[in-house]
């Protein structure tokens, strides 16, 4: 399997990706705005959000959910910034915050995925996938994960795909017990998957081209949105 560029990125650091019908939602880590693209890759609108250090993005229950990954380092601070890890529930038209909840481990967050009324959330300390009730925000299940830098998520069948950006691979974990069902390892010429989504059985990714201390060599010099193909 390999990555193939499909669209030019509408932003500097596309860090989260979510197909919502025929619209592709892109979370920009630099501005913390959400760019809404059509199926042809054209930007339809741009939604400002109170997200800080934006990472993952999900769509469900009539709302947009964004991963607010703690203190930002790429834009000026705003009065709404907290420097903490949150999952934000946003109005899909205005981007205004409707509600929010702290991450299950109290730390940062990269990946989100809506799952029939619940939300999958990546965790750093310890490394884990958490399933959170979409109304009460109570943790329903937690599955430890061995690989680091959990990023984008995409639900499919009996599993959930998780991008491990620094390792240049995507792993499919069973939603029942967290066991590994499958994995896709990319080559030296492929993208580093950050955001992840699935449409028509096909995985899509975004490469944020963001330089992270401790993960040297995990960027190529340009952002990108594309598909995973055979």
Q: Return the residue matching tokens 């929010």.
A: 100
Of 152, 161, 155, 230, the C-alpha closest to 193 is 152
Residue-range domains of the chain with CATH? 2-229 (2.130.10.10)
- pLDDT tens for each residue of the chain, 230 residues long: 999 999 999 999 999 999 999 999 999 999 999 999 999 999 999 999 999 999 999 999 999 999 999 999 899 999 999 999 999 999 999 999 999 999 999 999 999 999 999 999 999 999 999 999 999 999 999 999 999 999 999 999 999 999 999 999 999 999 999 999 999 999 999 999 999 999 999 999 999 997 776 666 777 889 999 999 99
Q: What is the DSSP string of 109-169?
A: ---EEEETTEEEEEEETTEEEEEEETTT--EEEEEE--SS-EEEEEEETTEEEEEEGGGTE
CA dihedral 40, 89, 165, 19 (to 10 degrees): -20
pTM here is: 0.95
């Amino acid at each position: 399997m390999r990555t193939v560029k499909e669209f030019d990125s509408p932003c500097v650091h596309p860090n989260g990706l979510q197909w919502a019908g025929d619209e592709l939602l892109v979370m920009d880590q630099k501005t913390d705005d959400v760019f809404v693209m059509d199926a042809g890759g054209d930007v339809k609108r741009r939604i400002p959000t109170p997200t800080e250090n934006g990472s993952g993005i999900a769509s469900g229950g009539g709302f947009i959910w964004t991963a607010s990954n703690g203190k930002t380092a790429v834009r000026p601070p705003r009065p709404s910034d907290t420097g903490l890890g949150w999952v934000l529930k946003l109005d899909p038209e205005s981007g205004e915050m409707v509600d929010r909840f702290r991450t299950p481990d109290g730390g940062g967050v990269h990946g989100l995925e809506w799952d029939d009324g619940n939300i999958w959330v990546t965790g750093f300390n310890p490394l884990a996938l958490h399933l959170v009730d979409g109304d009460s925000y109570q943790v329903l299940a937690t599955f430890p994960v061995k690989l680091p830098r959990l990023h984008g998520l995409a639900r499919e069948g009996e599993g959930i795909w998780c991008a491990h950006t620094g390792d240049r691979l995507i792993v499919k974990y069973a939603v029942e017990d967290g066991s590994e069902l499958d994995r896709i390892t990319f080559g030296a010429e492929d993208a580093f998957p950050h955001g992840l989504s699935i449409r028509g059985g096909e995985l899509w990714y975004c490469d944020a081209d963001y330089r992270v201390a401790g993960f040297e060599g995990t960027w190529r010099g340009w952002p990108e949105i594309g598909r995973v193909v055979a």
